Chains A and B, each alone.
Chain A
Amino acid sequence: MPDSKQTLEEILNLAAAQFKVPREKLTPDDDFFKTLGIDSLQALDLLTRLEHHFNVELPDYELQGVSDFRTLAGRIQARL
């Protein structure tokens, strides 16, 4: 099982690759909606990719109000 640092790193890598943003431009406390320039449909796409990548189920309501990578990583870590 990855530790929280690894989880965060994997999320950042996945987001950078999926939305074609240079990895070095992403930091843990970024607002991913702004940094990735994504809308709600793309956010759902990201959620699905994260569920598949980490093999977890993330109920949408647990992510309500979550907009930075670090908090997102915490939510995922809690389900690993």
Chain B
Amino acid sequence: MKIKQLSLFVENKPGHLLAPCRLLADHHIDLRALSVADTQHFGVLRLIVAEPDQAAKLLEDKGFVVKTTEVLAVEVEDRPGGLARVLAALEGSPLNIEYMYAFPFGHDDRAVLIFRFDDPDAAIARMQAAAISVLSTTEILGG
């Protein structure tokens, strides 16, 4: 139920985002979702890609520092209250969201929320108890 996310260190300078993106494009690796966390001097580029292991190897071979982490992809209805319902499921638990980002999913008013927890398994249990749909790798990458 956990999916692989690649993170890359990039300097916060013009042109630095291009190199990894171009490399993946050249190898026809599709980016399903991404987010960039930025600070004054550097950023962390986070990617959900179709072939995470192959992509990580390609990037590492070109000298990028890549980290593969497990994140949760949670499917919600793309309407007011969709995110709030998921967050409410976590209320009262010690689970802390390290970061999250969202993207639209499919064609019928669905969205996917990507969550990074320190304890993803505990988070999955909590979500499932609240009947929230946690997507598998095939579901998200196939969708």
The answer to whether A and B assemble together is no
